[in-house]
Structure 1
């Protein structure tokens, strides 16, 4: 299987982890030899209810028995999609009332950027250095990391970059700016939170200039930070909200949400302003609806903040310089990329799954399922401390 994987399936790096998966349930993933791995990554923040959550699995099975894909997006009334976007609207501020469902986060970013240009008639886009919003060409254009972009230029024109958390850069948002796109918490950069009411100040500048604010909640959204959406912590409501990852409950999904006034611009002049074949797929929508209900009707978000405290209490070590993030969106910051690599790889040998961040090479991701137990957290953190002790020796 490994040789076929490497020969026939396109790879993203020269050295994939190449663990052959047998099955996964709860907080554990099992390899082909039935070795259990405690999952501190959750499919890179995607599997917030863990693996094979019974409510999600049952929702998928029930929908499979009714129908799967029947028509391109937006034509037929399909109950799972309608109920999903209605529940989202109920849980969001009034100005975020209509949602377009897509197949992935990066597709949702593409739609949000198009909507901002259509609504404002402007072309300039502002993004943040070390920001990440996906890897399709438009999303890559607003990625603030040149090393990952240079081989694919030319990208979208008229894109400018500012520093996240830098108030002195805000005057660069002007009447020429269609939108500014920011992650609510910068992910690939090292789980950087906004400081000093930064997002509120961005919001105020956008109001002054008629610029639309797009907040990318693909990673911090859907309960991971202790709120349903990260922006709820930071006194800021976006014009366009982008979600993905955890919304699908382990299935592929993305979404962008705005006011009806904005979203209706995609219906006409031109018609079919944004189209997709599989967006709003009924099986995936059923999975997402079950996931969103479980997260909003349970105490998992409150638990996330308590579990954060437990992790911070347990992960004290000379090789840990800092723990960044909020809720169960956390990153260990070490002294070097070498230490981070050793921690990730040696922990996997010990049955614990950790992972890297995109741009901050000294960081180690801790984004377990929201359903992870305190005992599992204690077990995983014990592995981390043990591995760090072995590295320190």
Structure 2
């Protein structure tokens, strides 16, 4: 299968991990030889309830028996999508009342950027250095990492970059700015948390010049940080909220949410301001609805902070410089990139799945399912420490 994988399926890097998957359940992924791999990555934060959660599978199967795709987005009232949007509104501030469902986080970013331009009549977008918001052309344009986008220029014009957590840079947000787009917690940069009331200051500056604030919660959203949404930690409510990954419970989804008055601008002048064929797909929406109900209806969110404490307690080693992040969105920062590479690859051979971050070569991603048990955390941390003890620096 690996030979065919390399031959027929387009690759994203020269050296894919190449694990041959048989099945997955709970916190484990099984290869074709039935070896169990403890998952500390959760599909890059996309499977918050672990693999094959029974309530999610039940919802998917029930919807499959009713109907799948019946019409392009926004024309028919389909219960899974309607109920999902309604439950999102119930769990968000009142100003975030209407949701547009998309196929992916990056498509939701595109919609959010368009909405900011449509609402303000301005063209300038401000993003952050080392930001990552997706890989389509608009999302790539607001990526703050030139090495990853230089081969694809020209990209969108009128994009400016500020330094995350730099309060002086906020003066660059002016009456020419349509929108400021930020990750609530910078992901690819190394799980950088906002400091010194930074997001609150951004919010205030946007209010001053009537600029829309877009917060990208594609990674921190849906319980991963100990709140349903990361922005709840920082006294900052965005004008447009972008979500994805975990919302689908393992199925592909994205969404952008704003006030109804804002979202209505995509209906007219021009009509069909943002369209999609498969956004809000009933099977995917059913999966997302079951996932959101489970996250909001159980103690998973509060348990996340207790699990963070356990990780921080156990993962103490001379080769680990620091642990960044919040909740179960954690990154081990190693002494150098070589240690990071050795740890991830050797853990793979020992049945523990870790992964890299996009722009910080010293970082090791730890974003397990929210459902991971304390025993599984202890088991995985033991493997990490054991391998670190074997690494010769």
Which TM-score bucket, shorter chain as reference? Answer: over 0.9
Aligned-residue offset at 1:335: 1.0
Aligned residues: 393
Question: Following the alignment from structure 2 to structure 1, what is the Cα–Cα distance between the partners of residues 19 and 380?
Answer: 19
Residue 62 of structure 2 is aligned to residue 74 of structure 1: no
Aligned match of 1:65: 65
Aligned match of 1:142: 142
Q: What SS does the corresponding residue of 2:320 show, helix, strand or coil?
A: coil
| 1:254-307 Cα deviation digits (max 9, x unpaired) | 000000010000000000000000000000000000000000000000000000
Report the TM-score, using the length of structure 2 for normalisation. Answer: 1.00
Question: Following the alignment from structure 2 to structure 1, what is the Cα–Cα distance between the partners of residues 137 and 337?
Answer: 28
Residue 218 of structure 2 is aligned to residue 218 of structure 1: yes
Aligned match of 2:285: 285
Q: What SS does the corresponding residue of 1:135 show, helix, strand or coil?
A: coil
Instruction: Answer yes or no: is the 8 Å Cα contact 1:124–1:160 preserved in 2.
Output: yes
Equivalences for 1:112-191 in 2 at 5 Å?
A: 112-191=112-191
Aligned match of 1:259: 259
Question: Following the alignment from structure 2 to structure 1, what is the Cα–Cα distance between the partners of residues 351 and 3?
Answer: 23
Equivalences for 1:1-393 in 2 at 5 Å?
A: 1-392=1-392
Question: Following the alignment from structure 1 to structure 2, what is the Cα–Cα distance between the partners of residues 267 and 228?
Answer: 29
Aligned-residue offset at 1:212: 0.2
| 1:234-264 Cα deviation digits (max 9, x unpaired) | 0100000000000000000000000001000
Instruction: Answer yes or no: is the 8 Å Cα contact 1:128–1:144 preserved in 2.
Output: yes
Question: Following the alignment from structure 1 to structure 2, what is the Cα–Cα distance between the partners of residues 253 and 268?
Answer: 25
Question: Following the alignment from structure 1 to structure 2, what is the Cα–Cα distance between the partners of residues 175 and 118?
Answer: 15
Instruction: Answer yes or no: is the 8 Å Cα contact 1:78–1:282 preserved in 2.
Output: yes
Aligned-residue offset at 1:317: 0.1
Aligned-residue offset at 1:96: 0.1
* Structure 1 stretches of 4+ moved >4 Å: none
| 1:214-250 Cα deviation digits (max 9, x unpaired) | 0000000011001000000001000000000000000
Question: Following the alignment from structure 1 to structure 2, what is the Cα–Cα distance between the partners of residues 389 and 180?
Answer: 44
Question: Following the alignment from structure 1 to structure 2, what is the Cα–Cα distance between the partners of residues 81 and 223?
Answer: 21
Question: Following the alignment from structure 1 to structure 2, what is the Cα–Cα distance between the partners of residues 265 and 158?
Answer: 22
Superposed CA RMSD in Å reads 0.5
Question: Following the alignment from structure 2 to structure 1, what is the Cα–Cα distance between the partners of residues 228 and 330?
Answer: 16
Question: Following the alignment from structure 2 to structure 1, what is the Cα–Cα distance between the partners of residues 392 and 107?
Answer: 43
Q: What SS does the corresponding residue of 1:321 show, helix, strand or coil?
A: strand
Question: Following the alignment from structure 1 to structure 2, what is the Cα–Cα distance between the partners of residues 212 and 134?
Answer: 20
Unaligned 5+ residue runs, structure 2? none
Unaligned 5+ residue runs, structure 1? none
Instruction: Answer yes or no: is the 8 Å Cα contact 1:319–1:392 preserved in 2.
Output: no
Aligned-residue offset at 1:392: 3.9
Q: What SS does the corresponding residue of 1:73 show, helix, strand or coil?
A: coil
Question: Following the alignment from structure 1 to structure 2, what is the Cα–Cα distance between the partners of residues 107 and 6?
Answer: 27
Question: Following the alignment from structure 2 to structure 1, what is the Cα–Cα distance between the partners of residues 391 and 358?
Answer: 23
Report the TM-score, using the length of structure 1 for normalisation. Answer: 1.00
Aligned-residue offset at 1:359: 0.1
Instruction: Answer yes or no: is the 8 Å Cα contact 1:41–1:367 preserved in 2.
Output: yes
Question: Following the alignment from structure 1 to structure 2, what is the Cα–Cα distance between the partners of residues 218 and 180?
Answer: 16
Question: Following the alignment from structure 1 to structure 2, what is the Cα–Cα distance between the partners of residues 233 and 386?
Answer: 34
